[in-house]
Structure 1
Amino acid sequence: MTKKTYYVSVQAGTVMSHQGDAAYELEIEATASEKARLEMLFGAKMSYDDSSSIRAVLPGIPYHVDDENDKYDAVLQEVYRLLYELGTTETKNHISSMHILSQEETATPSFGDGSVS
């Protein structure tokens, strides 16, 4: 499948084809199915964000008992994993600088010591 350039706003949950359509934070190269997966993750993020807002009006819930917030965090991690995978060099550098993914998830594969036998 052919990859196209998309402009992504994690905050707004948008994936745009045209750079000038709206504000964006990151740039990716993705197939139509990869774009659809990212949009599905943004939908899940929004759903968990909405359902976790109930915590604001129920102060008696202990902080560590918050399944909806845990789900939100997990889907946000998945969003950033996918963005890192599909991202341009600048996008990958930006996500790496945020320290939200483990070093293993952002490591460049090593192909030996570089010597030729």
Structure 2
Amino acid sequence: MDKKTYYINVGTGEVLEDKAALNYEFEISATEEELDKLQELFEETDNSSQGSYATSWLPWKVYYSNEVNQEYDYYLTEVYRAIHQLGSEQTKRHIESMNVLENGV
């Protein structure tokens, strides 16, 4: 399968083909299958963030004692891991400088 270039905004979960369409953070090259997997990770991150938000109003809860927060962190790390694997050299360097990937790349 042929790879195409996509532009990613992690904060909004957007994946676009048009470089000028938004403020993007990362550039990747991906097949349709790889792109589908990344979009599934964005969906899982979004689903888990909604549960995490509900518990954020409880100041006596320790962040990591909540499974929902751990789930959100897991999926967000997986998003960055996938972007790193598919990313341009600049994208890879940027993600590595962020130190967001646990247990290496």
> When the two structures are superposed, what TM-score results if normalisation uses the length of structure 2?
0.92
Q: Alpha-carbon deviation of 1:56?
A: 2.4
Structure showing greater radius of gyration is 1
How has the CA–CA distance of structure 1 residues 63 and 96 changed in structure 2, closer, same or farther, with 3 Å as cutoff? closer
CA deviation profile, 1:24-60 (whole Å, cap 9, x unmatched): 1000000001111111111111111111111123334
1:86 counterpart = 2:82:
no
How has the CA–CA distance of structure 1 residues 102 and 75 changed in structure 2, closer, same or farther, with 3 Å as cutoff? closer
Q: Alpha-carbon deviation of 1:3?
A: 0.1
Query: What residue is the counterpart of 1:113 in the other structure?
Result: none
Q: Alpha-carbon deviation of 1:103?
A: 7.0
- Structure 2 unpaired stretches of 5+: none
Q: Alpha-carbon deviation of 1:65?
A: 1.8
Q: Alpha-carbon deviation of 1:21?
A: 1.3
Query: What residue is the counterpart of 1:13 in the other structure?
Result: 13
Query: 2-side partners of 1:67 and 1:95: how far apart?
Result: 25
Aligned partners of 2:64 and 2:70 also within 8 Å: no
Query: What residue is the counterpart of 2:100 in the other structure?
Result: 100
Query: What residue is the counterpart of 1:25 in the other structure?
Result: 25
- May I ask how many residue pairs the two structures share in their alignment? 105
One-letter code aligned to 1:33: E
- 3-state SS, counterpart of residue 57 of structure 1: coil
Q: Alpha-carbon deviation of 1:102?
A: 4.6
Query: 1-side partners of 2:60 and 2:41: how far apart?
Result: 30
Determine which structure has greater relative contact order: mean sequence separation of CA pairs < 8 Å that are 6+ residues apart, divided by chain length: 2
Q: Alpha-carbon deviation of 1:96?
A: 0.8
How has the CA–CA distance of structure 1 residues 5 and 64 changed in structure 2, closer, same or farther, with 3 Å as cutoff? closer
Query: What residue is the counterpart of 1:3 in the other structure?
Result: 3
